Amino acid sequence: MAATTYLITVSGPDRPGIAASLFAAVSPERYPDIVISDIAQITIRGYLVLCVEVTMNSATPPEVVCTAIQQAGVSGDGVNVTVNSVEPEAFLNGKRLLLTILAPEVTTTALHQVFAAMAACGATCERIVHLASYPVDCYELVVRGPNHATLRETLTQAARLAGLDVAVQRAGLHRRSKHLVVMDADSTLLRDEVIDMIAESAGCADQVSEITASAMAGEIDFSESLRRRVRLLEGLDVSVLEDVRAKLRLTPGARTLIRTLQRLGYVPAVVSGGFVEILEPLMKELGVEYLAANRLAVRDGRLTGELDGEIVDREGKAHALARFAGEIGVPLQQTVAIGDGANDIDMLSLAGLGIAFNAKPVVRDHADTALNVPYLDAALYFLGISREEIEADL
């Protein structure tokens, strides 16, 4: 006899004992051939929706199963029970994907655009989890669709039009296994461009700032731009570097991001085109052990206008990410990179998940996803970490 699959749905005001009564009603003692194939439950504001998919070889009518469940005390007090025979749908053969969307406010209009794009790809949503309501609104959706690449492209375009940040990732435990998170420093971990701050003391702020902007936009080679800017600092007393360190401002959410990563077993790292002399004391304060940055050449207590050692440029950042991953023993697919400038592109492309943080268009085009909110800890949502988990450490 062909197996029959039923979907049992219990909905209504939640109370203790509903699930216990349900599973007692469909126990093997009553139905010896019953097999549970799936369970899902959500409770919102005290309202329960519990779904159980069961398979039986006997052709027991759905209404008989429903009556047995009702008689077990599941229904009543506003709780309803339905039992329906179900058939597998064609789309269930598609891959499961994780879709994360966030914005200062996720509106119904934006959700309409996302779900319409999903439907256009022949995809459907299996589950929605509200990861955060502040300082941004964030939802994680489990989506089934036949074509990952098409779905990613379509949803990304729809999300941008809707004013949302979006990430589409393959579902599975591997996402929670991204153990290395590498961040750029200037304008990512930090609110400022450090070399611009040094330049203010050297009286060449406008010249340096102009070169910085061109480099971050990808208009000139980063290595050459860095050499030009450092040259303008020749003769500056090294005591200025201590003054700059005292003025550093972390991006909102930076401490929370690092603290949460460390608590959950991730390894944070910083790879920067900036300077070791500025960043190293801050990294010690934050407990970040892995740092790759440039080093300023000094003679007789003054900057020489040159760099000491190899330059950490666009290619150097990617090499540093790969080196750190090798030292920690993490596959590249299990790494995350966060950056804002053109010199971060190789690093973002190499990582398992590349996040463009308030970045230029050329950077967003090369990243897996983009964050356009001012809170760095919002990157945690793309790892499936909820606000509740983040605040457990506060």
Active-site annotation holder among 14, 137, 165, 184:
184
186 an active-site residue? Answer: yes
Is the separation of the CB atoms in 257 and 379 below 8 Å?
yes
Beta carbons within 8 Å of 183's beta carbon, 6+ residues apart: 189, 268, 269, 270, 271, 337, 338, 339, 376
Beta carbons within 8 Å of 37's beta carbon, 6+ residues apart: 5, 53, 54, 55
DSSP-derived letter for residue 370 is E
**Closest C-alpha to 230, from 247, 246, 207, 248:** 207
Cα Rg, the chain, nearest whole Å: 27
Strands 165-170 and 95-103: antiparallel
Cα 353–chain centre separation? 8
* Helix residue ranges, H only, 100-221: 108-120, 148-161, 194-202, 205-216
Active-site annotation holder among 186, 340, 346, 368:
186
Is the separation of the CB atoms in 193 and 186 below 8 Å?
yes
**Which residue has tokens 């480099």?**
215
Alpha-carbon span 110 to 158, nearest angstrom: 9
Q: Exposure string (b/e) for 18-56, b if CB count within 10 Å is 16 or more? A: bbebbeebbeeeebeebeeeeeeeeeeeeebebebebeb
192 an active-site residue? Answer: no
Q: Is the dihedral of CA 275, 279, 281, 283 positive or negative?
A: negative
User: What amino acid positions are annotated as catalytic residues?
Assistant: 184, 186
